[in-house]
Amino acid sequence: MEKKFDREKLMANLFKARFPFLYIATWEEDRVLSLIESIASNQALIKTERKVITWKITTGIEGEANGKGDTKSALKALELIENYQEPAIFVLHDFHIYFGDEGRTPDHQIIRKLRDISLKLKRSPNPKNVVFLSPVLRLPHDLEKDITIVDFDLPTFHEIKQILDDLIEVNKQTGRIAVNLSEEEKEKLVKAALGLTLSEAENAFARAMVEDGQLSIHDVEVILKEKEQIIKKTEILEFVNSHLNMDDIGGLENLKRWLRKRNKSWLESAQKYGLPAPKGVLITGVPGCGKSLISKAISAMWQLPLLRLDIGKIFSGIVGSSEENMRKAVQTAEAIAPSILWIDEIEKGFSGLNSSGDGGTASRIFGHFLTWMQEKEKPVFVIATANNISSLPTELLRKGRFDEIFFVDLPTHRERVEIFKVHLQKRLKDPNVTGDFQINDNNLHQLAGLTEGFVGAEIEQVVINGLFEAFYEERSVTLSDFEKICKQFIPLSVTQAEQIKGIRDWANVRAVAATPREDREEYTESNEAAGIGDIMASRGGRTIDF
Ligand code: ADP
């Protein structure tokens, strides 16, 4: 209940402090209205009780002030608000249509009128506030200083539980659905529905009930599926259901250790140690070396849900306004917290902010994101991955944003041994394919020695292409199949040596190596012995072992 109370108090304070215009973007009109009504009639919270008066384009002004002429016109409604003589909160639905939504031209008369009455509302002897309630967030530039955006969080555990209890109660009376749930199982169902709005949660429960005429613990799956669908519809977030775990990743031991030590850090027991919940990591480095892989594997290691945010889509303008998209994404991640929010290729959204020429939207969203990173109280762990770091804004890299910035370099000899092992073990399961070939130290070192400068993705290709050789000749695979491919293969690091050197120089000052000291030192020795070229002679990132 605590959370709801916070929300009430925050809104009440805004009303009390005479904020003239608040903007709440949500589909959950009923929830907002009942919250406003409960605040408006609670003297302890708001001091002066206020009437709640609503306006819609279809009905005009409703409630107490009704009957004062036709107020379906928005301008007329604003005049009425201007002259209203009692303490009141006006809730205006769908005003985004006047603010220049979806290609419409903004209604300048309305915007001007709002600016005119802003000061009057602040100074009126009777406290009056206006709340804009819309499913989308549109803020005309001219009103940015007058309107305060209020985030309306998704329902809490208790609010969703209430819905479920109500549904169960109704069903008990009709007796149509058999409910088979212990209190603990009920909580699991509710948890599965976190991240949905109240009506979405209600629909999901209802669907789970009608599907087989009963409600049981097995319906957790149904609810999760439903939630996945709903979140997918936002087109910016995606639930990543990955079965990858840390053993599927060769090398990067330093990063793995850091992550392992932060497992369960969002629990109360960690707080007892005086530990803050970790904010997140930025993982940069050479493409194809396992950044995405490790992001997915954290979910299994920590047993937390993983949401992937498509930052490119946020700024594409295809699905709603960028600002609103970012808020929604953050809200969803918070609603299902503890959770992991993975921002893949973060540079796509936040690079070159100054030159984007989009009227400052990108900078504003970026600012909002940074503040959220810095101040977030909910345990949402952010993993940001980036290939092209040179254009990332420096603010993002400042201390206090991410807990650590890791650099993933070309794999060292020892890491390549591990990567070969992962991919060979994954594919060589059938004895007819494997034949006499053994995944042993000798073979692994032999292959690792032939693949200096290869990234993980290229090593995977070596394994696949080697298998093709054997498949084509309808025989089991041999070491020389793989050796042949290694020798033919020209890794990208050869052609992109300059770029790699560039990102290493960047990383040397700013990032910690994902590869631990023991792997790096061994690497250098073997490297010298083998007389390998420049690309492997230096490494990026500082050596700090966790
Ligand atoms: P990026 O660093 O560009 O995000 P990915 O994580 O997408 O790279 O790696 C691409 C593919 O290459 C992976 O799906 C995996 O098969 C292989 N790969 C890359 N790095 C590793 C690694 N360290 N261990 C095992 N496989 C790897």
Cis status of the peptide bond prior to 20, with omega within 30 of 0: no
Do 304 and 433 share a domain, yes or no? no
Distance (Å) from CA 92 to ligand 1 centroid: 51
pLDDT over threshold 60, residue 177? yes
Ligand 1 closest atom vs CA 289:
20
* The token pair that represents 230 in the structure block: 């709903």
Do 446 and 362 share a domain, yes or no? no
Mean pLDDT for the stretch of residues 22-45: 91
Mean pLDDT for the stretch of residues 396-419: 90
> Residue 354 — pLDDT band, cuts 50, 70, 90?
low
Residues in CB range of 355: below 8 A, 6 or more apart: none
Distance CA(385)–CA(496), nearest Å, equals: 20
Query: What is the pairing mode between strands 21-25 and 147-149?
Result: parallel
Query: How high is the pLDDT of residue 81?
Result: 93
Ligand 1 closest atom vs CA 387:
3
Ligand 1 closest atom vs CA 287:
3
* The token pair that represents 343 in the structure block: 């921002």
Which of 404, 241, 229, 386 shows the shortest CA–CA distance to 307?
241
Query: What is the pairing mode between strands 512-513 and 306-310?
Result: unpaired
> Residue 5 — pLDDT band, cuts 50, 70, 90?
low
pLDDT tens per residue, range 218-257: 888 888 888 888 877 777 888 888 889 899 999 999 999 9
pLDDT over threshold 60, residue 527? no
Do 60 and 162 share a domain, yes or no? no
Mutation pick for ligand 1 pocket among 252, 293, 423, 492 (CB with most ligand atoms within 8 Å): 293
Distance CA(359)–CA(172), nearest Å, equals: 56
Where is mean pLDDT largest: 163-167, 257-261, 316-320?
Answer: 257-261
Q: What is the DSSP string of 148-209?
A: EE---PPPPHHHHHHHHHHHHHHHHHHT-SEE---HHHHHHHHHHHTTS-HHHHHHHHHHHH
Domain boundary among 464, 493, 522: 493
Distance (Å) from CA 501 to ligand 1 centroid: 20
Do 336 and 378 share a domain, yes or no? yes
pLDDT-above-70 percentage for the chain: 91
Distance CA(227)–CA(215), nearest Å, equals: 17
Do 23 and 105 share a domain, yes or no? yes
456 lines ligand 1 (CB under 6 A): yes
Do 178 and 139 share a domain, yes or no? no
* The token pair that represents 97 in the structure block: 């249509």
133 in a structural domain: yes
Query: How high is the pLDDT of residue 180?
Result: 79
Do 340 and 367 share a domain, yes or no? yes
Q: Which helix (H) or strand (E) holds 90?
A: strand 88-93
Domain boundary among 378, 408, 438: 408
293 lines ligand 1 (CB under 6 A): yes
Distance (Å) from CA 341 to ligand 1 centroid: 19
Q: Domain containing 108 — which CATH number?
A: 3.40.50
327 in a structural domain: yes
457 lines ligand 1 (CB under 6 A): yes
Do 104 and 142 share a domain, yes or no? yes
Q: Domain containing 306 — which CATH number?
A: 3.40.50.300
412 lines ligand 1 (CB under 6 A): no
Distance (Å) from CA 255 to ligand 1 centroid: 15
73 in a structural domain: yes
Distance CA(293)–CA(244), nearest Å, equals: 8
517 in a structural domain: no
278 lines ligand 1 (CB under 6 A): no
Specify whether the CB–CB gap between 127 and 156 falls below 8 A: no
Do 421 and 394 share a domain, yes or no? no
Where is mean pLDDT largest: 225-229, 335-339, 421-425?
Answer: 421-425
Distance (Å) from CA 330 to ligand 1 centroid: 27
Do 330 and 366 share a domain, yes or no? yes
250 lines ligand 1 (CB under 6 A): yes
Distance CA(412)–CA(541), nearest Å, equals: 14
Count of structural domains within the chain: 4
460 lines ligand 1 (CB under 6 A): yes
Mutation pick for ligand 1 pocket among 460, 461, 496 (CB with most ligand atoms within 8 Å): 460
Distance (Å) from CA 524 to ligand 1 centroid: 23
Ligand 1 closest atom vs CA 250:
24
> Residue 140 — pLDDT band, cuts 50, 70, 90?
confident
* The token pair that represents 366 in the structure block: 């970026």
Residue nearest to ligand 1 atom 12, measured at CA: 457
This prediction has a pTM of: 0.77
Domain boundary among 349, 380, 408: 408
Residues in CB range of 48: below 8 A, 6 or more apart: 87, 126, 127
Specify whether the CB–CB gap between 281 and 384 falls below 8 A: yes
* The token pair that represents 239 in the structure block: 């639930």
Mean pLDDT for the stretch of residues 113-140: 91
Where is mean pLDDT largest: 328-332, 378-382, 427-431, 481-485?
Answer: 481-485
Q: Domain containing 429 — which CATH number?
A: 1.10.8.60
Distance CA(435)–CA(480), nearest Å, equals: 13
pLDDT over threshold 60, residue 64? no
The region of weakest confidence among 261-275, 478-492, 508-522 is 508-522
State phi, psi for 392 to the nearest 5 degrees. -70, 135
Rounded (10°) CA dihedral 291, 292, 296, 301: -10
Distance (Å) from CA 248 to ligand 1 centroid: 10
75 lines ligand 1 (CB under 6 A): no
Distance CA(299)–CA(109), nearest Å, equals: 51
Which of 524, 522, 525, 517 shows the shortest CA–CA distance to 542?
517
Distance (Å) from CA 288 to ligand 1 centroid: 5
Query: What is the pairing mode between strands 237-239 and 306-310?
Result: antiparallel
Ligand 1 closest atom vs CA 385:
4
> Residue 1 — pLDDT band, cuts 50, 70, 90?
very low
Mean pLDDT of the chain: 85
Residues in CB range of 503: below 8 A, 6 or more apart: 284, 285, 286, 389, 390, 407, 540
Distance (Å) from CA 333 to ligand 1 centroid: 25
Query: Kindly report the CA angle at 258 between 256 and 263, in degrees rounded to 5?
Result: 90
Do 112 and 161 share a domain, yes or no? no
Distance (Å) from CA 455 to ligand 1 centroid: 8
> Residue 22 — pLDDT band, cuts 50, 70, 90?
very high
Query: What is the pairing mode between strands 51-56 and 60-61?
Result: antiparallel
- Give the residues across from 128 on adjacent strands: 88
Residue nearest to ligand 1 atom 15, measured at CA: 457
Distance CA(256)–CA(297), nearest Å, equals: 10
107 in a structural domain: yes
Query: How high is the pLDDT of residue 443?
Result: 95
137 in a structural domain: yes
139 in a structural domain: yes
Specify whether the CB–CB gap between 18 and 127 falls below 8 A: yes
Mean pLDDT for the stretch of residues 408-421: 94
Do 366 and 458 share a domain, yes or no? no
Ligand 1 closest atom vs CA 293:
6
Distance (Å) from CA 366 to ligand 1 centroid: 28
Distance (Å) from CA 307 to ligand 1 centroid: 19
Amino acid at 56: K
Q: Which helix (H) or strand (E) holds 179?
A: strand 178-179
Q: Domain containing 201 — which CATH number?
A: 1.10.8
> Residue 12 — pLDDT band, cuts 50, 70, 90?
very high
Distance (Å) from CA 51 to ligand 1 centroid: 59
Mean pLDDT for the stretch of residues 468-495: 92
> Residue 467 — pLDDT band, cuts 50, 70, 90?
very high
Specify whether the CB–CB gap between 511 and 540 falls below 8 A: yes
Query: How high is the pLDDT of residue 501?
Result: 86
Which of 329, 30, 421 shows the shortest CA–CA distance to 38?
30
Ligand 1 closest atom vs CA 249:
24
* The token pair that represents 227 in the structure block: 């939630």
In three-state secondary structure terms, 121 is: helix
537 in a structural domain: no
Full domain range(s) for residue 379: 240-247+256-408
Distance CA(349)–CA(341), nearest Å, equals: 15
